[in-house]
Every structure is written in C-alpha cells, then in structure tokens.
Amino acid sequence: MERKEGIIKMEDVQGNPSYSEYTVNNFPLQSIFDLSSREDEKIRSLGFMDLLGIQDLTGSPLLDIMVPSLTATQAPPTPPSKKIDSPEATNQPATPNFSSISSASSEAVNDEPVKADEQEENQQKTNKQLKPKKTNQKRQREPRFAFMTKSEVDHLEDGYRWRKYGQKAVKNSSFPRSYYRCTTASCNVKKRVERCFGDPSIVVTTYEGQHTHPSPIMPRPSLGSSHLGSPMSAAAFGTPMQRTPPHYQHQHQQQPLTNGLSPLNFGHKIGSINASFLHEKRLCTPGPSLLKDHGLLQDILPPHMLKEE
DNA sequence: CGTATTTGACCGGCGC
DNA sequence: GCGCCGGTCAAATACG
C-alpha cells in the first residue's frame, strides 16, 4: 500500500504559525493534546512528565525503540514552580499517560453510548435507506481523543484493524484526511487521520468512540515485560508502537509524539476505569459552540490558542 | 473470491 | 434560502 508521501507539499501554513510552532519547536505536548479548556489550563501548568509519570515511560523499551531523542530533547520541561492541585489532575486515573496527552472532545456529551444511537438508526433505516440520522437532537458524537505522532506513514499500526471508509481534502491543508472505522463488528470506533499541515511529518490521529473489544492483534511476547509498573500497560491493549511490526518500524520510523502513549488504550479503557475521568473532562469542557471551525485543530489545540490566531 | 481501498455523491449542520 | 464544509455511504476497483 503506497503511502501518499508524494503529496507532501508544504503549503503556506495559512496563518497558523503557532500551530507548527507548538507542535514542532516547543513541544508543549500537554497543550496540544489537552483540548479541554478550563481543565487543560490546570493541566497545562502541570509538568507534562509529572502527569505522565514519565519515569515509567522512559524506562520503557517502547521509548527506547521509538523515541529515544524525543523523550530526551523534545519533552517539554516541567514548569518549575507551578503545580496544580485540581481534583482532576491529581485524580488522574491509573493511566496518567493518556489523561494528560489525549484530548477529550467536548463534542461528545452523550452519556449513553451507542445503544440509543443504534436503536434510532435501525428504526430509521426502515424509513429511509440512506443514513436517516435525523433525530430531535443533533447527531451525537462519541468522545474524541486526538494525538499526534511523528511518522512517515499516515495510518499507524495500533493493534486494531481499521477499514478506511472515506477520505476528504482538508481545508487549508494540502493533506487529505482519512476516515477509518474499526472492522470489528459491533465496535463503532472511528478514527480520523491527517497530517499536520504545519509539519507534514506529524500525523494527527483522532479517535472517536471506544472499543468494545480487546485488540485483535496479540502483543509480541518479547514485549510482554515492557509495561512494568504501568497499571494500564500498553501491552494490555496494544499501542501503535508495540503493534508495529519490526519491519514497519524500520521502514517508517514512527515517532509517537505522545511519548509512547496510545489513545487506544485510552479508548478501550473508557468503558472501565477511565470512564470517570472522561466524564469529568466532559463536564469541565465547554460546549462545542465555543469551538469554532478549526477542524482537527480544535481537537489538539486548546481553545485559547485557537482564539489567539 | 473475499476483503480492503478508492472516490464521487450525498446528507446534515452551520454561517451568511 | 443558499452555499460551504465535514462526515459518511456505497459502487467500483484493487489486492491477496
């Protein structure tokens, strides 16, 4: 499968200098990945590594393999004095990893997962054949989590099987956005993949929904011990890095900017321990109306940053 | 031949 | 009301 690396054509950064700045130069990941507004301000002031419990990660073979330089040089320095004591932050569930870097979209405010949706859809499908999504309310969305990965390939191996169902050109970007859906029946997780127009080497992946099943791809035995100390080990559900076949790594050199954290774990955990966290996030996030049309940007940039531009 | 991808069309939401 | 845009569908195509 050919990658569309040929289209890499650094179009003008379209008035989003700060975007590339943030993602490439400064790398305040906590800012990028946490798009919830108020809370993310708190988190942002907290050291990213603190939130991540980075000691575990740095010791992880994952990082040794994938992001040796990243962890060392590009990880945002921990703010010296600023510490937060917000309940959410200190309460970061067993997986500090994702909580801090992933971003929960405020779009998803439906507490009931899929059931209601499915029922409605089934019901409406009888009426019309073509996507009868019309309900009393707006179309409800699943929680979304955006993260960025430095990778040559658009579609990262993450342990789950995805089927591409669409691709669209992105406004203000020369790179298309691809839409994937989990191939597992009854699993309605979707993800969007697009390249950062500021830095084509960065892939922005946005997951929507939660997996209702474990990763279909079994972890490599050799990596079984790589998660020591990590309550929600990546090995449990599969990370882009771990799932990545060795040849893949060599060829494409994936560099997860998320410091080796996979939102997939996150997504899968949503139903369990992270549920409360997500809920908190949602409660603390502004309504979608506050987020203007920034496309995926709104998933990865805190609202205040968007406003500033 | 079954499965995955491509791609143009379609739909709904939203701003003007 | 109209047009733009993001997201999805589904037929056609490619691939193993």
Quickly give A156 CA vs B10 C1' distance in Å. 29
Q: Which of A69-83, A201-215, A219-233, A242-256 has the lowest mean pLDDT?
A: A69-83
Residue A22 CA to residue A215 CA, distance in Å, equals 32
Average pLDDT over residues A38-62: 36
Per-residue CA distances from A15 to A11, A29, A197, A292, A301 (Å):
11, 21, 11, 15, 15
Long-range contacts at A240-243 (CB < 8 A, ≥ 24 apart): A240/A149, A240/A156, A240/A157, A240/A158, A240/A159, A240/A264, A241/A62, A241/A65, A241/A66, A242/A62, A242/A159, A243/A157, A243/A158, A243/A159, A243/A215, A243/A217, A243/A219
Strand C and A111 CB separated by under 7 Å = no
Quickly give A78 CA vs C4 C1' distance in Å. 43
Strand B and A125 CB separated by under 7 Å = no
More confident residue, A214 or A253: A214
Quickly give A143 CA vs C2 C1' distance in Å. 32
In 3D, which of A23, A75, A69, A73 has the Cα closest to residue A49?
A75
State residue A164's pLDDT score. 92
pLDDT above 70 (res A99): no
State which residues between 120 and 179 of chain A bring their CB within 7 Å of strand C.
129-131, 165-168, 170-171, 177, 179
| H helices, E strands: number in chain A | 17, 6
pLDDT above 60 (res A262): no
Strand B and A164 CB separated by under 7 Å = yes
Strand B and A185 CB separated by under 7 Å = no
Quickly give A122 CA vs B10 C1' distance in Å. 20
Sequence-separated (6 or more) residues with CB below 8 Å from residue A9? A174
Answer for the pair A178, A193: CB distance below 8 angstroms, yes or no: yes
Residue A252 CA to residue A195 CA, distance in Å, equals 15
- Chain C positions with any atom < 7 A from a protein CB: 5-10
Quickly give A289 CA vs C3 C1' distance in Å. 21
Per-residue CA distances from A23 to A86, A203, A268 (Å):
26, 11, 26
State residue A165's pLDDT score. 92
Residue A109 CA to residue A106 CA, distance in Å, equals 7
Q: Find tokens 């929507």 and name the residue.
A: A208
| pLDDT tens per residue, range A111-165 | 443 343 334 334 333 333 344 433 344 555 667 778 788 777 766 677 788 899 9
Q: Which nucleotide is nearest to A172 (CA to C1')?
A: C5
Quickly give A222 CA vs B14 C1' distance in Å. 51
Strand B and A133 CB separated by under 7 Å = yes
Residue A204 CA to residue A67 CA, distance in Å, equals 17
Strand B and A169 CB separated by under 7 Å = no
* Average pLDDT value over all residues in chain A: 49
